[in-house]
Chains A and B, each alone.
Chain A
Amino acid sequence: MILGIIEHDGVQLDPYGLQMLTFARDLSARLNTSLEAVLIGKSAESSGEQIKNFGISKVHLIQHERLEHYAPEAWAESVIQLLADKKADLAVAAGTERGNELMAHIAAKLDLPLASNCSEISHGDGLEITRLRWGGSLLEETSLRDNVKLLTLALNIVEAQESSANPVDFEAFTPTLEDKDFRVQLSGREENTAEGVTLKTASLVVGGGRGVGSAEGFKVLEELAECLGGVVGGSRVATNNGWRPHTQQVGLTGNRISPKLYIACGISGAIQHLVGCKAAKNILVINVDREAPFFSKADYGVLGDLHEVVPALISEIKKVQ
């Protein structure tokens, strides 16, 4: 039996959890086993209504008076007890921060391997697994052969797809938890005060890298972004030099963007950066170096110094606006 653990906010299920359910549903069919969902914490049942459209017939609700706020070790301990109780042989969560954290605690406590951020799974002697390295720019093939297999599914590998609507059987499970399981527990939330379009949601992003040369150099990129109703991002070189705040980094260790158009100025196109912008629908690269790797990943290119091209572009836009 496969247990799929889904995050929820008390109202809705996490969209990545629904991707995971879609993937796990297919996996359970191929492994000829059943898939049951797991929801943890208060108000899980109301979120769970959505599950009936995903071809799941049973949902385990892990409930405990102290599980109101997220506590990674208490969650891990709860899932461990459920795994043993149901004699499940595979547990999977989406490869979100929490999903990876939860599964790593479970793996550590059970002294089992965890295959994180998997992208493909096939049936062999055990499970043959492909998982992401370098944010997906390199793939690792590995296998899981233990009696209980633990994995997380990389994000956006599949689209969440509904299946036949099933009547869902909700089954409560109350774990036995100790004070120690709550030594780390969420103690509060702070909302971001900044409003408006963010890098993650922007439909147009103007990015700058080493070629911008300085913090002041970004002024023309800001102006271009403003003309087009977009936002500014930077490569790791730009944020590491303090030209832009880290919150504006596009890349492996920053934001993943998916705009309609990404205008990349003075960025060579290192893997670190490409991982962050590969979901852009169109990429326009402005660079002096025709050999820059970014040109082979871009849809459009302008060969030239961004400090000449961008101001010319701004004045041309102003003429027609």
Chain B
Amino acid sequence: MNILVCVKRVPDPGTKIELTADSRAVDTSKLGFTISPHEECAVEEAVQMIEEHGGEGTVLTLGLPESDAQLRDALAVGMERGILIETDGSDWDPGQTAKAIAAAIEEDQTRHGPFDLLMFGNESADSGGFQVGIRVANALDLPCITGVKSMEMEDGQLVCKREYGDGWEVYKIPLPAVVTVKEGLNLPRHPSLRGTMKAKKKKIEFVQPEKVSAQLVMNRLRHPAETSKEVEILGEGAAAAPKVIELLRKLEVL
């Protein structure tokens, strides 16, 4: 089973986001980066499926050349090769991104053969557009299941589950297909030292995309109105317990 996982390089979800002076971008000078959380799970799932069914895993991203760090992270846990669609780091809207990814996939398939499964994160942690995977599926005329938190092959079909209301929805589709996943699908492994060493030798192909014009132009970013609170410190250490009891009573939770 040959699987392509598309990942996005995003600022570490734990960090504080500052904006550049013109408010047109996030100030990345002091930020650490990571693979967007949902896609970390997509990489893990792909590696597990390949361990079970055989095949090869390819990881793709669109971004600055230094996004190769995120591709190496995926190569270190078991993906075999990388594709980096190079940009100048400017904001690409979901339509532009999807078109460049679809074109790169089509080109890659003419040389390496077809992918059985294309995986995306359900939405990116940063811009959260909820649409790149769906747009790529439509461009390549493939079926697409989104929001997946459980997936397995059963009698040649891919059985996916996603949360809905208080329960789960079940979908079954034949391959090839596109699946967009959510964190919770699995617990991503950490790369081993050996994996990290091996990843350095794995091949990353750099692709120069054709940039179509943007449909959804970001004009400006801003922080929502600050809702900072004046915290009431009840005390220090174990000695604070009686004050906390008072609070619990006041809030009628005790």
Spell out A's residues near B (CB within 8 Å): 9, 70, 72-73, 95, 97-98, 100-101, 104-105, 107-109, 111-117, 132-144, 146, 152, 183-192, 203-204, 228-230, 236, 239-240, 242, 246-247, 249, 252-254, 260-261, 268, 270-272, 278, 282, 284-285, 293, 295-305, 308-309, 311-313, 315-317, 320-321
Contact = CB atoms under 8 A, between A and B. Distances in A.
Given A144-B216, A183-B143, A104 B241 contact: no
Nearest to B26: A138
A185 B121 CA distance: 20
Nearest to B165: A9
Contact of A192 (B168, B222, B244, B252): B168
Interface string B6-38: 000000011111000000001000000000011
Contacts of A97: 146-147, 162-164
B131 A116 contact: yes
Contact of A133 (B126, B227, B235): B126
Given A192-B166, A297-B229, A134 B125 contact: yes
The 8 nearest A-B residue pairs measured at CB: A312-B238, A113-B215, A246-B184, A104-B131, A108-B138, A304-B237, A270-B14, A113-B216
Contacts of B236: 302-304
A118 B38 CA distance: 22
Nearest to A144: B216
Nearest to A130: B222
Contacts of B163: 97
A316 B164 contact: no
Q: Which of B127, B223, B240, B247 has the most CB of A within 10 A?
A: B240
Interface string B206-237: 00000000011111111110011101111111
Contacts of A191: 166-168
Interface of A is mostly: mixed
Given A138-B221, A261-B251, A302-B236, 11 more contacts: A100-B131, A108-B139, A116-B131, A142-B216, A184-B143, A189-B164, A253-B183, A272-B125, A300-B233, A316-B244, A317-B254
B134 interface: yes
B17 A184 contact: no
B56 interface: no
Contacts of B247: 284, 300
